[in-house]
Structure 1
């Protein structure tokens, strides 16, 4: 198994179906906090649902079109990052994240997504990494800015939400931009 250090007490590791109990516990601690911002299909309500979410990403990983990794802090799963999509033919992927409130403010998501972008740009040779977020999600937009992404635009009222239609902001970073900011492929 591999683990990528993010801080002295936090690391990024693969999140697999056998982590379903830990994942459900994390979702239970963060459910109200993340529910407005993530797909309802992600926020599992029970152990079978948690297992299903993680299996869906394991299957995506096996098909080479996505994946999911957890952020553990002090031995506890506190959130994670994912490749919602990964298309090597087009050279485009979409990254995403979630984090429970107690773990916010420590730069864990920014560090984890940065590692993920390093991997898709350097190892998978993708050209474009997208970040799609509800236009009202100021924390997610702040992550995109910290990563040096550019705001491509807004998809107006593209998704149905609990209180009406929502706007979706699309941010991105291109491989040459990422490499120039982060010291090239030999970081």
Structure 2
């Protein structure tokens, strides 16, 4: 299974069913914060819901349709980062992520995304990575901006969040752009 050592503090790995309780507790403790930007939070009510997510993510990985990883910071689960889907015909990966609020501000997500991007361009041989974030979600938007993505546009009312629509900002990064800045 997939395991990526980001640095001495951060590891990305495919979640196992044994991680379901830790994932649920992390989600539950972060529920109020996550609910502002993520539509799936209210549907995550029990450990079984987290177990179902892990089973789905492992199936997606086995079928090369996605790659969802737990972000382990100093050995503890801190959030997730994923290629929510791949478009293999056009060689595009679509990244999504979340981090518990008490783990933010340490550069964890930026470093996790940076390693996943590097893996995508050098190992998976993708041509492009797409990240979308709600227009008002400044913390989420800071990640692709920090990593050199280009703002490609804005999609109006792209997502329904419980009782309102939010616009998404679309960011893109090409393999050649990344490799020019991060050659091996």
TM-score by length of 2: 0.92
Residue correspondence of structure 1 range 120-139 to structure 2 within 5 A: 120-139=120-139
Shift of 1:156: 0.5
Contact 2:39 2:162 in 1 (8 A): no
Asked if 1:33 is matched to 2:33, the reply is: yes
Stretches of structure 1 that go unaligned for 5 or more consecutive residues are none
Distance in 2 of aligned mates of 1:126 and 1:164 = 34
CA contact (8 A) 2:34 2:41 kept: no
Q: Partner residue of 2:153?
A: 153
Corresponding position of 2:168: 168
Q: Deviations over 1:78-135 (max 9, x none)?
A: 1121111112221011011110111111111111111111111111111110001111
Corresponding residue number in structure 1 for 2:18: 18
TM-score (structure 1 length as normaliser):
0.90
Q: Runs in 1 of length 4+ with deviation above 4 angstroms?
A: none
CA RMSD in angstroms comes to 1.8
CA–CA separation in structure 2 for the residues paired with 1:119 and 1:42: 32
CA distance in 2, matches of 1:2, 1:51: 18
Specify the alignment match of 1:52 in structure 2: 52
Q: How many residues align?
A: 184
Task: Tell me: CA distance 1:66–1:41, structure 2 relative to 1, closer, same or farther (3 Å).
Answer: farther
Kept in 2: contact 1:14–1:70 (CA 8 A): yes
Counterpart contact for 1:93–1:130, Cα < 8 Å:
yes
How far residue 37 of structure 1 moved from its aligned partner, in angstroms, is 1.6
